[in-house]
């Protein structure tokens, strides 16, 4: 399989670069800048992309790399910090710019014959984000593009297959960025573009069958996208050798536990174990109002209930989990020996023994996991469900959590989701939900004065959840949602809409 290496120097867009490459049906993997040159040489990559990063290349405490990487005979594309690093390693000069460039900038292509700019107009918009710049290009390189304030916005040594751009072609703000990446992959690296999801499923099923043999597999199924797709893939591979353990902690959305159970018992050949533990969770949460303490209790209780059930299967085979690629990517920000933690990564108690851990989705990004899920026949509403916090509605009930409060919030949230689905506006939103803030207000219904709960609607748009904007939902849609909630959900007499961005707020309230 042909592969592209994304060498991470701490940039925030490292995963986005790899996803863009994979979107073009070329497999990309991310490694930190601490990876030895011999490993890169042995993996025989078709091309290498240096990511951006927040550092200055002339600060020797910043991430650097062995200049010999430029002599491997493998095409290289340096992006932003990666551009400056390419210049630095090749003998050019990098300085702090007199005028920094941030945001949309007009790019002027100087060398129309450049393979990197084939099919790109002479003038186009690109996304810049830099304080330093290449003030002197390395010997043997040609400047191929510039901006008003950046004289070497792109340069190359075509004979050696070395290319560098000061801007970010991977973001949608760069008008012809996708075309430039296509040119690098197919014109310069000569990739075939034959990596696809169908072959992933076939290869994975064959590999899982071979590894598991006649042993059992137990999977912790949360009902989220990752664990659900992992379950479907394992079911196709080993059928009833798979046992899925689903802990319903009583803090899911309306009827969600029943939906998960019905889906997996109807569509897939497996053993499905549902543990209804809501009463235990509510008892443990009684009287607790501090948000961090609530999260800790929910996590601890889930750990106890889950592993009590898993112990019934200990020693009989393998343990599986829905780890995906971003969960295990090593950081290029100086702490590359630390793997990012994630809710899919489950710490196994010392007294639980399995032959090994199986992570069938460990090489996929979230959007790729969703595509696999669709091909495996998982319902659209499960595959494309929006992010849902591990503690469930426990972080959307402010103050003490009780069954009555959760029931009220479930009903209000159901109305919101139902209306968004009916009008089709859900496709414009990254995440939307209701919050019960524990605030009561005066109202009037008929001839009676009321003093009942207030519901907050939260809806955001975002590409990466690092920042988020409040969604500009049309007033008529908000009006219908408000009317339905106050009419249909007993105990609610007021609905408000959260119009705060992230930052300063977070997406969730707790």
pLDDT in tens, the chain (510 residues): 899 999 999 877 888 899 899 989 999 999 999 999 999 999 999 999 999 888 888 888 888 999 999 999 999 999 999 999 999 999 999 988 888 888 889 999 999 899 999 999 999 999 988 888 899 999 999 999 999 989 999 999 999 999 999 999 998 889 999 999 999 999 999 999 988 777 789 989 999 999 999 999 999 888 888 999 999 999 999 999 999 999 999 999 999 999 999 988 998 889 999 999 999 999 999 999 999 999 999 989 988 998 998 888 877 799 999 888 877 765 444 433 332 333 444 567 888 888 899 999 988 888 889 999 999 988 888 888 887 888 899 999 999 999 999 999 999 999 999 999 999 999 999 999 999 999 999 998 877 899 999 999 999 998 767 678 999 999 999 999 999 999 999 999 999 999 999 989 999 998
Same fold, 3-188 and 401-497: no
Q: Is 170 one of the annotated active-site residues of the chain?
A: yes
Beta strands across the sheet bearing 27-32: 27-32, 3-8, 47-50, 76-79, 162-165, 154-157, 142-146, 93-109, 123-136
Coil, strand, or helix at residue 235? helix
pLDDT (0 to 100) of residue 130: 83
pLDDT (0 to 100) of residue 436: 98
346 Cβ partners below 8 Å, 6+ apart? 220, 321
pLDDT (0 to 100) of residue 159: 96
- Pairing verdict, β 76-79 and 162-165: parallel
Q: Specify whether the backbone of 213 is left (phi greater than 0), alpha (psi in -120 to 50) or beta.
A: left
Q: Is 168 one of the annotated active-site residues of the chain?
A: yes
pLDDT (0 to 100) of residue 329: 64
Domain 401-497 in CATH 3.10.20.30? The answer is no
Coil, strand, or helix at residue 175? coil
Contact 117, 183 (CB under 8 A): yes
Q: Which pLDDT tens digit goes with each residue over 430-451?
A: 999 999 999 999 998 877 899 9
**Extents of the domains making up the chain:** 3-188, 197-383, 401-497
Q: Is 80 one of the annotated active-site residues of the chain?
A: yes
Domain boundaries 3-188, corresponding CATH code? 3.40.50.880
DSSP E strands in 374-488: the ranges are 431-435, 440-445, 448-461, 469-470
Rounded CA-CA distance 19/51 in Å is: 13
pLDDT (0 to 100) of residue 464: 62
Rounded CA-CA distance 239/270 in Å is: 5
Among residues 156, 170, 175, 216, the one annotated as catalytic is 170
pLDDT (0 to 100) of residue 326: 78
> What is the pTM for the complete model shown?
0.72
Domain boundaries 197-383, corresponding CATH code? 3.40.50.620
Among residues 101, 168, 216, 419, the one annotated as catalytic is 168
């Amino acid at each position: 399989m042909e592969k592209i290496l994304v060498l991470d120097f701490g940039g925030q867009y490292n995963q986005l670069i790899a996803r863009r490459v994979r979107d073009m049906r070329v497999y990309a993997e991310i490694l930190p800048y601490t990876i030895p040159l011999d490993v890169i040489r042995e993996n025989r990559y078709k091309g290498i992309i240096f990511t951006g990063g927040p550092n200055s290349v002339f600060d020797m405490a910043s991430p650097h790399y062995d200049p010999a990487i430029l002599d491997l005979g493998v095409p290289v594309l340096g992006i932003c910090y990666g551009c400056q690093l390419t210049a630095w390693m090749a003998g050019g000069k990098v300085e702090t710019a007199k005028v920094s460039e941030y945001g949309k900038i007009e790019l002027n292509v100087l060398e129309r014959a450049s393979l990197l700019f084939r099919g790109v107009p002479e003038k186009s918009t690109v996304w810049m984000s830099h304080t330093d710049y290449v003030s002197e290009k390395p010997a043997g390189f040609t400047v191929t593009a510039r901006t008003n304030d950046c004289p070497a916005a792109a340069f190359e040594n075509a004979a050696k297959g070395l290319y560098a751009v000061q801007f970010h072609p991977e973001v949608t703000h760069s008008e012809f960025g996708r075309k430039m990446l296509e040119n690098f992959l197919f014109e310069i690296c000569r990739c075939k573009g034959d990596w696809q999801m169908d072959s992933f499923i076939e290869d994975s099923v064959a590999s899982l069958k071979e590894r598991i043999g006649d042993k059992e597999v137990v999977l912790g199924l949360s009902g989220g996208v990752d664990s659900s797709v992992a379950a479907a893939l394992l079911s196709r591979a080993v059928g009833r050798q798979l046992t899925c353990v689903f802990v319903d902690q009583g803090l899911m959305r309306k009827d969600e536990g029943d939906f998960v159970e019905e889906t997996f018992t109807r569509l897939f050949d497996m053993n499905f174990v549902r543990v209804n533990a809501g009463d235990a969770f509510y008892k443990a949460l009684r009287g607790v109002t501090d948000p961090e303490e609530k999260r800790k209790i929910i996590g601890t209780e889930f750990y106890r209930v889950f592993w009590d059930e898993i112990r019934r299967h200990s020693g009989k085979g393998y343990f599986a989990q829905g780890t995906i690629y971003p969960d295990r990517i090593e950081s290029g920000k100086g702490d590359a020996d630390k793997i990012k933690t994630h809710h899919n990564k489950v710490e196994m108690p010392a007294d639980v023994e399995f032959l090994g851990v199986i992570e069938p989705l460990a090489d996929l990004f979230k959007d790729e996991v969703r595509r696999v899920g669709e091909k495996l026949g998982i319902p659209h509403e499960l595959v494309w469900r929006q992010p849902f916090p591990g503690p469930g509605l426990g972080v959307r009930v402010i103050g003490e959590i009780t069954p009555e409060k959760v029931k009220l919030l479930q009903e209000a949230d159901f109305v919101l989701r139902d209306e968004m689905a009916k009008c089709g506006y859900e496709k414009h939103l990254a995440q939307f939900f209701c919050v019960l803030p524990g605030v009561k207000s005066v109202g009037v219904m008929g001839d009676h004065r009321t003093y009942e709960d207030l519901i907050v609607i939260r809806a955001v748009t975002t590409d990466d959840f690092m920042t988020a904007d409040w969604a500009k939902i049309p007033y008529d849609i908000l009006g219908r949602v408000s009317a339905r909630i106050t009419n249909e959900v007993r105990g609610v007499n007021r609905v408000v809409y959260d119009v705060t961005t992230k930052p300063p707020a977070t997406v969730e309230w707790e």
